[in-house]
Amino acid sequence: MIYRFLADVLLVFHLSFAIFAGIGALLVLRWPRLRWVHVPVAAWGALIMFGGWICPLTPLEKYLRRLGGQAGYEGGFLEHYIISVLYPAGLTRGLQIGIGLFVVAVNGFVYGRMIARRRRAFHADGGVPRG
């Protein structure tokens, strides 16, 4: 029973990680120091998508499910839990690249806006950096 519980906890963490990678820059707008966590998470998420890799959390979840007496599933995390609901045909390489581009575009846009805002504030203050 503990293995099923651990697999479920890992699933929630994995889903949270994926969402944070995709749109976490929106949280950084409110809590700027969070960028030190978000940037590597977003980079990892995009690399997984662009590389066509499987996140190491997926095999770990499958392993815990097997230890808990549950059948593992085929494919990756996105394919099993998310893409299978939205796109029953499965995760294609093109879709995977599209997800990677979405991660880069959303986060790039938000971080670009933040940088532009800081530059404007810097120049408005006469070039004096704020603490």
Q: Does residue 131 form part of some domain?
A: no
- Is residue 110 in a domain? yes
Structural domain contains residue 34: yes
Total domains in the chain come to 1
pLDDT in tens, 36-60: 999 999 999 889 888 888 888 888 9
Does the residue 54 lie in any domain? Answer: yes
Looking at the domain assignment, is residue 130 inside a domain?
no
What is the spatial distance between Cα 61 and Cα 30, in angstroms, rounded to a whole number? 32
Q: Which long-range contacts (CB under 8 A, 24 or more apart) does 1-6 make?
A: 1/68, 2/68, 3/64, 3/65, 3/67, 3/68, 3/69, 4/64, 4/65, 4/68, 4/69, 4/70, 5/68, 6/64, 6/68
Model confidence pLDDT, tens digit, residues 83-112: 454 444 667 788 888 888 988 998 999 999
**Model pTM?**
0.70
Which structural domain range is residue 90 located in? Answer: 2-124
